[in-house]
Amino acid sequence: MSGINELKDKVDYLDEVLNNLIKKNNEDVKKSFDGVKMEALTKKIETLIGKTHLTNELLETFHKEYSAQLFANVFETLDKKITAIPKVVLTRHHHSFESKSWGYLAVVGILTAITAVAVGLAVGYRIENHRIETDADKFEIMQALYPVSTGKVNAAYEKNADSLKNVAEEKAKNSASK
């Protein structure tokens, strides 16, 4: 408990020191204002306050007039722009075909069909060309291996090609049916 009593004594001592300092400070402030005339100081403060009120009033009236004129100009230009807009705005619907586009579509369709036919013919001709080249290669091999037999076949084909084809087809059917 002695520690608590010591703390209380120290706190009381500090309170007395603070009170003395405050009193001394108040006396110093009173001494510094004794030499100044308070009436002259209050008049100067009042004139400054009056000038600030006058300045504030001028600023407020200028702000009001300027704002009103500015808004008037803005609304006037906005009204001009609104009246410049036509009443009916024509729009085009791009999700359907118009009568002008049917010719274009017909041309595109015809070109697509021509392209498809051309590609089909090219593929067919390429297949037929490949078959003919393969048969020609086979005949050249036969000529190299059996020159006498191929010479007889060439001579018979030159004399009567149709009858030779018929004979070959009949033999092919007979050999296929066996």
Count of C-beta atoms within a 10 Å radius of residue 36: 9
For the chain, 178 residues long, give each residue's pLDDT as a single digit of tens.
566 667 667 777 777 777 777 777 767 666 666 555 666 666 776 777 666 766 767 667 766 666 667 767 777 887 888 787 777 766 666 666 666 778 888 899 999 999 999 999 999 999 999 999 999 999 899 999 999 988 988 888 888 888 888 888 888 888 877 6
CB 164 within 8 A of CB 157: yes
Tokens representing residue 50 in the block: 């009056």
DSSP tag of 16:
H
- Closest by CA to 129, choosing from 137, 139, 140, is 137
pTM assigned to the model: 0.38
